[in-house]
Amino acid sequence: TDLVIQPLLYFCFSPRNTTWSGTFFGREVSNAGTRKSPHCRHPLSLAIQKHPHFRALFNLSTPVLLSGGLFARELWDSLSQYKAPYGWQGLSFQAINSTLSLLNDSESSKLFAASGKPLPNCVRCAVVGNGGILNGSRQGLNIDAHDYVFRLNGAVIKGFEKDVGTKTSFYGFTVNTMKNSLISYGNLGFTSVPQGQDLRYIFIPSDIRDYVMLRSAILGVPVPEGPDRGDRFLKSKLMNTNFGDLYMPSTGALMLLTALHTCDQVSAYGFITSNYWKFSDHYFERIKKPLIFYVNHDLSLEATLWKDLHKAGILRLYQR
């Protein structure tokens, strides 16, 4: 199979706080055993520990990936109280269990396990958003110099190598954002989901639809039901779309938070900055388009969070 499925990614932000700026914590993949940050000169975990505000918001020992081995009645009871992507409210126990039981090997619970290569002592990650700030940035070599490169949604590479690099270790998406990217940015060069030997997909389930899709992808069979019926996930030209069930935070935010929970150092490229209005919405557009603030995301909040994490030395935000 040409499809390497990476476990469900799952984040839990404070459900009490609709703006998710409050407590947030990952749930699952324990990188606790693999984190060897003592070898890093400036591990982000240290910057978090030293910070009076962020110290209380991160818990780096909670795993971020969800895999079959973690599924139990107790987990269901606690997570079914919260709506996607924070939890499983409105989803069926059976559907969750039958999908998760397919992700029941040790590979599925570790973000960096797949390649079989030894983990660097200091895991340096670049998370590449698709912001217009990258157009003309010449950051390609800097991005590729990281141990792992995360990309997401309509990550166009061809023709933009000098600005965004070529390496892709992880591609993150929700069914919605991936499908919408293929439809909206196909004519700008995003004609297929990134493929590659060492590449792993980070799947962010936001709906029951996503669990059904994931199951079909793992089994290599067409999707049996719902709006995506008949799709051979990640293989066909995907035409269906459904704009109704997008959610916040943005996929970029989820990828960046994943990296923060698993890497020792994180650089963010192509993420919203305070001077976003100077740049096009995406780096691959041919004509400048203003950044769109969709109602389902809170980009202003995200911008503030990235800036504050940058100031705190927890991540490095590319700005110009």
Ligand X SMILES: *[C@@H]1O[C@H](CO)[C@@H](O)[C@H](O)[C@H]1NC(C)=O
Binding site residues, ligand X, CB under 6 A: 59, 61-62, 68-69, 71-73, 97, 100-101, 104, 132, 135-136, 280, 285, 287-288
* Cβ-contact 9, 254 below 8 angstroms: yes
Between residues 41 and 286, which has the closer beta carbon with respect to ligand X? Answer: 286
The smaller minimum CB distance to ligand X, of residues 102 and 242, is found at: 102
In the bound state with ligand X, the residue whose beta carbon lies nearer, of 72 and 295, is 72
Position of minimal CB gap to ligand X: 101
Closest CA to 263 of 111, 143, 106: 111
Task: Please report how close the Cβ of residue 62 comes to ligand X at its closest, in angstroms.
Answer: 4
Residue 118 tokens read as 């030894």
Nearer to ligand X, 62 or 240 (CB): 62
Minimum Å gap between C-beta 284 and ligand X is: 8
Tell me whether residue 67 or residue 267 sits nearer to ligand X (CB atom): 67
> Least distance (Å) from ligand X to the CB of residue 199?
25
Smallest distance, Å, CB 118 to ligand X?
A: 26
Shortest Cβ 33–ligand X spacing (Å): 13
186: three-class secondary structure by DSSP: helix
DSSP 2: -
Residue in the structure block whose two tokens are 């943005």: 250
Q: Is the Cβ of residue 104 or residue 142 nearer to ligand X in the bound state? A: 104
Cα→Cα distances 167→69, 150, 265, 272, 315, Å: 31, 9, 17, 22, 20
Q: Please, what is the minimum distance in Å from the beta carbon of residue 260 to ligand X?
A: 15
Taking a C-beta distance cutoff of 8 angstroms, is the pair 276, 126 a contact? no
148 contacts: CB under 8 Å, gap ≥ 6:
112, 123, 124, 125, 126, 169, 170, 259, 263
